[in-house]
Amino acid sequence: MLFAPPNLETKELFWIIYILILIPKVFAKVMSVRELFPFFKWGFNIRRSNFLVPILSNNVIVTGEEAVQYEKPLPYIPQHNQQQQKQQPSQEYIQQNSSENNNINENNNINNGKEQEQPQSPDVVNQPTKTNNNNKKIPIKELSNEEILIKLEKGEVLAYKLESELGDCSRAVEIRRMLLEKQLSKKIEPIPYEGYDFAKVQGQCCENVIGYVPIPVGTAGPIQLNGSLVTIPMATTEGCLVASTHRGCKAITESGGAKCTITSRGMTRAPVVRFSDIVKASEFVSWINDNDNYQALKAVFDSTSRFARLSAIKCTIAGRSVYIRFKCDTGDAMGMNMVSKGVEAVLDHLKIIFDDMTLLSISGNMCTDKKPSSINWTEGRGRSVVCEAMITGDIVQRVLKTNVQALVDLNIAKNLIGSAMAGSIGGFNAHASNIVTAIFLATGQDCAQNVESSNCITQMEACNDGQDLYITVTMPSIEVGTVGGGTSLPAQSACLDIIGVKGSSSSKPGANADQLAKTIASAVMAGELSLMAALSAGHLMKSHLQYNRAKTNN
């Protein structure tokens, strides 16, 4: 009955189909697809329609029109989990059926509930897998650089994790350079990397490190500051900057030196919170302004650090949002992480009291960090510093090559009126940011903070019957530290040591960062004095042509 002629009654045909469906269930464990095929081949010719025709395809039953399309022999797929020997197909047979059965080969890769082995590419087959005697993969740090590079290209190892995977920061840099050169198809040899302690960079200064960029470092001064001589390290690629600052230092020192003082100290962070309506927002501000409540919040804030001490909270309402500007002393650290940690603790405390309060961001841009703002200019951030000096008339003429009245007139026209006409915020100076950035680079500061740290107003007056020059610079937001971040890098730490402010002051926390801020302000004053003298005497272009346009050998 199994091989009955095709002109059968419907009932008989039904039983035949039923038996055909059962056959794979019985023989699947002991017979391959190819061995079962003769039992089903005649079924393809019963009828070319959507009639129910069972077919075993990789031990999966398909029916209907999909089944009657298989007039050719079923594709040969090795059954690795079966015990008997499989008949290998001919090359012609494989080519004949490869295009038709491509999708089946991809989707039906399960035999008896076990995954079949996927064919490996020639690269994988030919690439030896490094194992030890226990068939365990060898740790990545024991592979060669070339083998690690292959794994990076395949995505088996992530480039940014090389330091932690290898336990060797210098080797991680070397391999990452190999990868970059291969990706760019060009060498990066001019970027040095050897002889540098990248372990000090890891986790605090830079990621995906490929080397370092050398910047020339010069020194200006020494300048006499508050009775002591201070040498100023400056890292810059702008010719004439160090020479000009040095000239200003000479004029100040020969005139008796500069005096400098800190008028305010405190890093700020201003989260923004939101309430359901303006009434609750207003009630929140009133609660914060109560001294007893402020003292409770201060205790919470101060408990988060040995050095951070909350000094003020100021709230500003905008609709139902409230900007809470915290200000705190952070010792010798610049302090952004320190103040953020304390702010988070206070916010958690406030959420318990004000369940209607929603924190939108720990920074609401009223801090204000790395952006021009009037709040930093008027209320300060970091260290607020004022510096002054009296330059005698003979030194103005002999060292600065100009006269007192010319300097006073130019300062009014340029630094005061000109900046006001431009709508400047904190930019009432000639080039304070030049000196600030150069010292920031040399001493490992956060260079993006030169935006607010360069806020400065330069004032000049004639005194002693117009014979001498009185000059001051006021800088309300110098943001510096002598510990943390880039200050721990060897070269930057050495530059701090030149000034005499390396690390933290054990006897008086914050004293080293104060001295660094004073040094910056005095250097800015020296730079202002020299540049304004050059402008008033018409020497600016001449000096730049001399120092900034030197011929080089190609």
Q: Can 332 be counted among the known catalytic residues?
A: no
Which residue among 370, 401, 414, 502 is the active-site one? 370
Q: Can 80 be counted among the known catalytic residues?
A: no
Sequence-distant (6+) residues with CB within 8 A of 480 are 334, 382, 383, 440, 443, 445, 453, 513, 516, 517, 520
Q: Can 355 be counted among the known catalytic residues?
A: no
- 432 vs 451: CA distance, rounded Å: 10
The C-alpha angle with vertex 30 and arms to 29 and 31, in degrees rounded to 5, equals 110
Across 407-426, b (16+ Cβ under 10 Å) vs e yields: bbebbeebbbeebeeeebbb
Q: Can 106 be counted among the known catalytic residues?
A: no
Which residue among 259, 349, 502, 544 is the active-site one? 544
Q: Report helix, strand or coil for 205.
A: coil
Phi, psi (rounded to 5 degrees) for 399: -95, -45
CB 439 within 8 A of CB 519: yes
What are 548's two structure tokens?
A: 């900034």
CA atoms within 13 A on the CB side of 332: 18
- 476 vs 387: CA distance, rounded Å: 11
What are 500's two structure tokens?
A: 């005499």
Which residue among 238, 302, 344, 356 is the active-site one? 238
Q: Which helix (H) or strand (E) holds 460?
A: strand 456-463
Which residue among 332, 369, 446, 468 is the active-site one? 446
CB atoms within 10 A of CB 199: 11
- Find tokens 């008086």 and name the residue: 508
Indicate the Cα dihedral angle 162, 167, 168, 173, nearest 10°.
10
Q: Which residues are annotated as catalytic?
A: 238, 370, 446, 544
